[in-house]
Structure 1
Amino acid sequence: MNKDSKIYIAGHKGMVGSAVWRMLEQNGYKNLIGKSSKELDLRNQQNVQSFYEIEKPDIVIDAAARVGGILANNDYPYQFIMENLQIQNNLIDGALKSGINTFIFLGSSCIYPKLAKQPLKEEYLLTDALEPTNEWYAIAKIAGVKACEAIRKQYNKDYVSLMPTNLYGYFDNFDLKTSHVLPAMIRKFHEAKLNDKPVELWGSGAPMREFLFVDDLAKAVLFVMENKPEEHLYNVGTGKDITIKELALTIQKVVGHAGEIIWDATKPDGTPRKLMDVSKLNKLGWQHQVELEEGIVKTYEWFLQNQDKIKEVKM
């Protein structure tokens, strides 16, 4: 690994991809490649293969995906399974055919069974049923993990998968129809503060979730890229979780909303708990650095400064 290595970051304009780009630049990697979805449709196999043949990257970091929360997964199941399969299959298979030796595949903690023992260990993959509200996305990501594992086993290439817990941070999606819980809450509490109204939230507030600031994931990507760990799958998280109700109260405090919080228990809670066992990556030397309230402050500050740039996500 050297600073002149040609690195392609798929999805470089998204929250994760842009964080990885910034982290690599900050650490002296200047030969970075990024293509917008208009420049390169990752769902098109021939376009991806042609891109690889022309650019010849040394390393591929796959941060490209169709993502969303419970509502989006529930309303658009076909897009969530098929587009994610198309994107990652084209990137992974194209990289193999092009002789690329290093590939980092980014997934999600939703690959683990809904009722798996906590905290979630890497070996729990495929041991029980998935959470129904996001199984379409999860199945696609599981396929990506197994494809990278198969390439590693059969071709002895450095293809590794990182499974982060719930991410948030700069360039997050704040669209109320398609966003995840933390950015959606930031926007809801902010707008309720401006309008002096209560905030209505889905579910009971009882489920427990773990949250990782996106820059910490970017540091994990850099760490894995530079250290080439021996196994194919690593969890990335803080190893700490809180209830959704506690999250709401923390965001309410950061935003400065003083009104009532109304919980709609008729809406689904999703998985009861999702806490990652991050001991494998911790033992190698990576640790998260940004604690939750600090990360929420950073994210809310970014939200306030970039409201004019925040786009509504179309499915």
Structure 2
Amino acid sequence: MGSVRHGSEGPPHPSNEGYAYSKRMLECLVRYYRQAHQREWLCVIPTNIYGPHDNFSLQDGHVVPALIHKCYVASRDQTAFTVAGSGKPLRQFVYSEDLARAIISFLQKDHCKKNSSVIVCPDDGDELSIEEVASTIAGAFGFSGAVELDPSRADGIFRKTASNLELRRLLGEEFRFTSFADGISKTVEWFRDKTL
């Protein structure tokens, strides 16, 4: 089983080291620009984004859009919906429209401009396993075939929990995230409209 990582503690997992370091370096760049140029820049760092207009490629799409495409193909071809890995790794997902609302809120609130970075993610308790993600996608498609896990494929890091305490401090508890089921339903509907 993979290890657990919280926010930006410790070195990144080798499976996504370059991507993780790019996020860290962007945060540093924004902080240094703020100091050097006295500008109110904010580095917005989202967790796994999904939603309409995503990259649904089976080759290089992120987990949710790629699984949506896989489920579509399984439904169309009447085959099993196969998910790589054990299905146990946990992730935090952000619906793209929620991210857009958060960014607009940051731009409109003066107190947000005092920060150099903020992570946009749902609460810790809203982590989902990849198996739950696949099941939610299958439900949104009305897929009645088998959802199969392929444990011969690597899981990557087991858990990458990020904290949204700064987001909550800036935007308050009233900022609500779209439920994963609702976000998936809207995304699957958009995908179907564009694909069929």
Alignment TM-score, normalising by the size of structure 2: 0.89
1:235 pairs with one of 95, 99, 119 = 119
CA distances 1:63-117 after superposition (whole Å, capped 9, x unpaired): xxxxxxxxxxxxxxxxxxxxxxxxxxxxxxxxxxxxxxxxxxxxxxxxxxx7434
Match of 1:258 in 2: 144
1:238 counterpart letter in structure 2:
P
Alignment partners' CA distance in 2, 1:188 and 1:115: 27
Measured in 2, the distance between the counterparts of 1:288 and 1:268 equals: 33
Q: Counterpart in 1 of 2:181?
A: 293
**Separation of aligned partners in 2, 1:188 and 1:173:** 13
1:153 Cα offset (Å) = 2.4
Work out whether residues 5 and 159 of structure 2, in 8 Å CA contact, stay in contact via their aligned partners in 1: no
Matched, 1:128 2:30: no
How far has the Cα of 1:156 moved from its partner? Answer: 2.3
**The residue matched to 1:235 in structure 2 has which SS?**
strand
Q: Secondary structure of 2:5's partner?
A: coil
Q: Give structure 2 stretches of 5+ with no counterpart.
A: none
1:191 aligns with 2:73: yes
Q: Which residue of 2 aligns with 1:272?
A: 158
Moved over 6 A (4+): none
- Match of 1:175? 57
1:53 corresponds in structure 2 to none
Letter of the 2:70 counterpart: K
Alignment partners' CA distance in 1, 2:27 and 2:106: 16
Aligned to 2:130: 244
Distance change >3 Å, CA 263–CA 305, structure 1 → 2: same
Q: Contact conserved, 1:237 with 1:288, CA < 8 A, in 2?
A: no
TM-superposed CA distance for 1:214, in Å, is 0.3
How far apart are residue 250 of structure 1 and its match? 1.0
2:51–2:95 CA contact under 8 A, matched in 1: yes
Is 1:307 matched with 2:195? yes
Say yes or no: does 1:222 pair with 2:104: yes
Offset of 1:181 from its aligned partner?
A: 1.0
Structure 1 position 195, deviation (Å):
1.4
One-letter amino acid of the counterpart of residue 5, structure 2: A
The DSSP-based 3-state class of the residue aligned with 1:263 is strand
Distance 1:173 1:295, change over 3 A: same
Superposed, 1:14-29 pairs within 5 Å as none
Q: Identity of aligned pairs, percent?
A: 29
Counterpart amino acid of residue 261 in structure 1: V
Deviation at 1:201, TM superposition (A): 1.2
Alpha-carbon shift at residue 157 of structure 1 (Å): 1.3
Is 1:151 the counterpart of 2:64? The answer is: no
Given residue 195 of structure 2, which amino acid in structure 1 is its aligned partner?
Q
Question: How much has 1:212 moved relative to structure 2?
Answer: 0.9
Name 1:72's counterpart in structure 2.
none
Q: Distance in 2 between matches of 1:170 and 1:298?
A: 8
Q: Superposition RMSD on alpha carbons, in Å?
A: 1.6
CA deviation profile, 1:143-201 (whole Å, cap 9, x unmatched) = 21101111112332111111111110010111100001111111111111121111111
Contact 2:4 2:160 in 1 (8 A): no
Greater C-alpha radius of gyration: 1
Q: Is the 8 A contact 2:23 2:45 kept in 1?
A: no
